[in-house]
Copies of this chain bind each other. A is one copy, B any other.
Amino acid sequence: MKHLNTPEEIATFISSMDTFLLDVDGVVFLGTQLIPGVVEALAHLRSLGKRIFFVTNNSLKSRTSYVEKFSAKGIHGVAKEEVFSAPYAAACYLSDIGFPKEKRVYVMGADGVVEELREQGIQACGGMDDKDLAFSGMDDLHRIQPDPSIGAVLTAFDAHINYPKLAKAHTYLQDPSVLFIATNPDVADPIGTQTFPAAGSMYQPLIKSTGRHPIIVGKPHETMLRVILAKYQLDPTRTCMVGDRLDTDVLFGQRGGCRTMAVLTGVTTESMLNQAEVAKRPDYVISSLGLMR
């Protein structure tokens, strides 16, 4: 675990890498705010010919929305192909396993998830269409029936979680051939000085009610990294995963044989790094991505 403090240490580190995989929340943004210096750092890395990919578990947004958010905040010129999100990883996963074209994915999550699935040619339902499903009494439940057109249930962060959605997902999952997939395992996300329940908490009712466990495609699951490394033929020894979490970002980088770097602008603090098992520590530590310039 090498701390990069001086401009020389930082420059040496940068020159040893070709590609940077950057987590977004806690690395580029904190909530809706850009972390100071990040725009300049990204420009600096690009001016040196480094390749940059954004790798995020955030399951609210599609990659297109990310590009728009970046641009609105002053990070211009990011291509959609440079963004890898958990919803995209879910769509890639379903494509990879040959999810049948005639089947539909029931989404408990935001429209960004539905959008990514449809872009990969996968039929999706649920999502925001089920946002306002009202529950007026137990008789409503008789309308929720098994549906043979559903081939998978995909859960993500869903700020509009409701009982009819849980009841539908539960019903579909009674068929063991229906896949159970979750975008990411993060149980709580920091927002400002507080934390709030995250995508990894939202499928817990279904685990209990069905006795089934989802396949998780986001970090630290290797799906996204495998896709990136293969697609762009990256050398993992010259690729650095930069993140603010040991349990997702650093583990994800380590599983892919990449170099790993922790920033201290998000969840992980210096003392958490020191208390972590040696095998779980990153190769590098820098206080902020904003210093990489």
Q: Which of the residues B138, B158, B204, B206 comes within 8 Å of A207, measured between beta carbons?
A: B204
Binds B, one of A69-77, A195-203, A239-247: A195-203
Given A188-B209, A197-B206, A209-B197, A160-B163 contact (CB < 8 Å): yes
Inter-chain CA distance A197–B172, complex, in Å, is 12
Q: Which of the residues B31, B139, B166, B187 comes within 8 Å of A197, measured between beta carbons?
A: B166
In chain B, what residue has the closest Cβ to A137?
B159
A191: interface (CB < 8 Å): yes
A32: interface (CB < 8 Å): yes
- A205 and B209 within 8 A (CB): no
A192: interface (CB < 8 Å): yes
Q: Which of the residues B161, B170, B192, B207 comes within 8 Å of A163, measured between beta carbons?
A: B161
Residues of the B chain whose Cβ atoms lie less than 8 Å from the Cβ of A160: 135, 162-163
Q: Which of A188, A202, A206, A209 has the most CB of B within 10 A?
A: A209
A14: interface (CB < 8 Å): no
Residues of the B chain whose Cβ atoms lie less than 8 Å from the Cβ of A191: 138, 141-142
A167: interface (CB < 8 Å): yes
In chain B, what residue has the closest Cβ to A164?
B159
- A163 and B171 within 8 A (CB): no
Residues of the B chain whose Cβ atoms lie less than 8 Å from the Cβ of A159: 135, 163
- A196 and B167 within 8 A (CB): yes
A231: interface (CB < 8 Å): no
In chain B, what residue has the closest Cβ to A201?
B205
A194: interface (CB < 8 Å): yes
A2: interface (CB < 8 Å): no
A108 to nearest B CB, angstroms?
12
Q: Which of the residues B142, B174, B201 comes within 8 Å of A208, measured between beta carbons?
A: B201
- B192 and A209 within 8 A (CB): no
- B204 and A205 within 8 A (CB): yes
Inter-chain CA distance A231–B174, complex, in Å, is 43
- A205 and B208 within 8 A (CB): no
A241 to nearest B CB, angstroms?
25
A202 to nearest B CB, angstroms?
6
- B197 and A205 within 8 A (CB): yes
A266 to nearest B CB, angstroms?
16
**Given A161-B166, A170-B195, A171-B194; 8 other pairs, CB 8 A cutoff:** A141-B196, A158-B163, A163-B197, A174-B194, A201-B204, A201-B205, A202-B205, A204-B208
